[in-house]
Amino acid sequence: MAVIPQTEFQRRRARRKWMGRAFHAMCLLSVCIALGMLAVLLAYLLIQGITGISWSFLTGFASRHPEQAGIKAAILGSIYVVVVAGLVSFTLGVATAVYLEEYAARSKFAKIAKINIANLAGVPSIVYGILGLQIFVHSLHLGKSVLAGGFTLALLVLPIVIVAAGEAVRAVPPSFREGSYALGATRWQVIWHIVFPLAFPGILTGVILAVSRAIGETAPLIAMGALTFVPFSPDSPLSRFTVLPIQIFNWTSRPQEGFQEAAAAGIIVLLVILLMMNAGAVILRNRFQNKWD
């Protein structure tokens, strides 16, 4: 075996140590670049948009004049659509997760369904918009309405709810179920009285994640045919609508600087809504967790 002379060993060791330090610095730099971009993004939006936020901006309707433009219709549209999407995806998502985990666990059907759900999560959102256009708007004659938009987004976020609810249901210890079965409970009684209450915080977190994804979606609703200029409040599930991200998109693509400022102000409102929802998720989760610990 070749023996490396002492001086050569020291030289190599010094080089390896130096390379290690350089690599450490590069990795740290990568993280700093990513965090720095986030900081720049938020700072830029704040500087551009903060002056545009006023009471009349929040309560006014869309306008051809940037200084009069408001986001009332967009905020209402976003809320209605997201409420529909949240309710539908919650119901379907929890039902699906419970079936796959409690009834059909380890069956071939569950295996196929889970692969399918993983793939659905990777389908580009705009494809869901086309699906919504053909199924809800044309085939079911819902029109380009709040309901059609809500259903479209519900399908889009369904995989998120199913995966989160599935994890929450799986996390309930089997001994709890077995104890309940031993007392003579039926399968549904076990699910309703034992599994649901324990899995609820996890399910809730999943639904809030799903809803915050839905509230930021633009492309599927454009493909489905949501409006870009709405000078009225949507007043029924079948009324036409716009949402906040579409309003922002519309203003961003206009050349006048006033509209771009309005877009930045709209973005701040959107991000504040998202922030509040995520904070709400954390608070709710903590509260329920304490109760069951």
Q: What residues contact 128, with CB distance under 8 A and at least 6 apart?
A: 152, 153, 155, 156, 220
State in angstroms the smallest separation of the CB of 248 from another protein: 5
| Residues from 21 through 60 that contact another protein (CB under 8 A) | 23-24, 26-31, 33-35, 37-38, 40-41, 44-45, 48
Tell me the C-alpha to C-alpha distance, in Å, between residue 164 and each of 45, 98, 141, 246.
Answer: 32, 11, 32, 28
Beta bridge partners of 49: none
| Residues from 130 through 189 that contact another protein (CB under 8 A) | 130-131, 134-135, 138, 155, 158-159, 162, 186-188
212 lies in the site for another protein, by CB under 8 A: yes
- The smaller minimum CB distance to another protein, of residues 134 and 235, is found at 134
| Residues from 82 through 121 that contact another protein (CB under 8 A) | 91-92, 95-96, 98-100, 103-104, 109, 112-113, 115-120
Q: Which of 149, 218, 269, 281 touches another protein (CB under 8 A)?
A: 218
Angle at 276 between CA 274 and CA 279, to 5 degrees: 110
198 lies in the site for another protein, by CB under 8 A: no
Q: Total residues at the site for another protein (CB under 8 A)? A: 84
Q: Which stretch binds another protein (CB under 8 A): 66-74, 123-131, 145-153, 230-238?
A: 123-131
79 lies in the site for another protein, by CB under 8 A: no
DSSP states along the chain = -PPPPHHHHHHHHHHHHHHHHHHHHHHHHHHHHHHHHHHHHHHHHHHHHGGG--HHHHHPPP-SSGGG---HHHHHHHHHHHHHHHHHHHHHHHHHHHIIIIISTTSHHHHHHHHHHHHHHTS-HHHHHHHHIIIIIIIS---SBHHHHHHHHHHHHHHHHHHHHHHHHHTS-HHHHHHHHHTT--HHHHIIIIIHHHHHHHHHHHHHHHHHHHHT--HHHHHHT--S---S---STTSB---HHHHHHHHHTSS-HHHHHHHHHHHHHHHHHHHHHHHHHHHHHHHHHHHH-
- The smaller minimum CB distance to another protein, of residues 56 and 253, is found at 253
4 lies in the site for another protein, by CB under 8 A: no
State in angstroms the smallest separation of the CB of 18 from another protein: 10
- The smaller minimum CB distance to another protein, of residues 17 and 141, is found at 17
State in angstroms the smallest separation of the CB of 182 from another protein: 17
- The smaller minimum CB distance to another protein, of residues 147 and 273, is found at 273
Q: Which of 79, 198, 238, 274 touches another protein (CB under 8 A)?
A: 274
State in angstroms the smallest separation of the CB of 95 from another protein: 4
- The smaller minimum CB distance to another protein, of residues 235 and 276, is found at 276
- The smaller minimum CB distance to another protein, of residues 191 and 204, is found at 191
- The smaller minimum CB distance to another protein, of residues 233 and 252, is found at 252
